[in-house]
């Protein structure tokens, strides 16, 4: 799930991409794992995934640059616009909330489903 702005190989001006260095590949792996964790936890019914989602959301929202693996530093090192990723994740979150709100409006009528099953059981 590499970001389109990150490619392995050489740049147009002849320099080596930052993602070719081992330390930077680790940063890319951290970023990729964070994005996957965000997606998995977005609508997950599993509490642990939702917790990790919140941690990633907080990490991405932070503008802290005090430690090497802060979101800002990883994006800077890999030459990725952090606001581009933030806006994409923000859009995903908003879309998820809209779908969740729409689903709340279409509640299943459980009593009818249960009644139908009970009625079928009496015939057979």
In a domain, 36, yes or no: yes
* pLDDT score, position 100: 81
**Which of the four pLDDT bands, split at 50, 70 and 90, describes residue 4?**
very low
For residue 6, pLDDT over 90 is answered with no
In a domain, 47, yes or no: yes
Look at residue 10 and give its three-state secondary structure. strand
**Which of the four pLDDT bands, split at 50, 70 and 90, describes residue 55?**
very high
- Domain ranges, residue 53: 18-123
In a domain, 2, yes or no: no
* pLDDT score, position 5: 43
* pLDDT score, position 102: 77
In a domain, 39, yes or no: yes
Total number of domains constituting the chain = 1
Are 35 and 82 spatial neighbours (Cβ–Cβ below 8 Å)?
no
* pLDDT score, position 68: 92
In a domain, 66, yes or no: yes
* pLDDT score, position 110: 55
In a domain, 13, yes or no: no
In a domain, 11, yes or no: no
Cα angle vertex 113, ends 111, 118, to 5°? 95
In a domain, 4, yes or no: no
Report in angstroms the alpha-carbon separations of 106 from 100, 103, 111, 112: 10, 5, 15, 15
């Amino acid at each position: 799930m590499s970001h389109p702005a990150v490619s392995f190989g050489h740049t147009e001006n002849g320099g080596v991409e930052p993602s070719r260095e081992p330390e930077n590949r680790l940063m890319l792996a951290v970023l990729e794992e964070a994005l996957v964790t965000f997606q998995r936890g977005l609508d997950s019914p599993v509490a642990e995934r939702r917790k990790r989602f919140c941690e990633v959301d907080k990490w991405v929202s932070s503008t802290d640059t005090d430690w090497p693996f802060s979101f800002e530093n990883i994006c800077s090192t890999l030459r990725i616009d952090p606001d581009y990723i933030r806006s994409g994740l923000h859009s995903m979150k908003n879309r998820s909330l809209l779908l969740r709100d729409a689903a709340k409006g279409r509640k299943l009528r459980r009593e009818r489903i249960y009644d139908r099953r009970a009625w079928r059981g009496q015939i057979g």
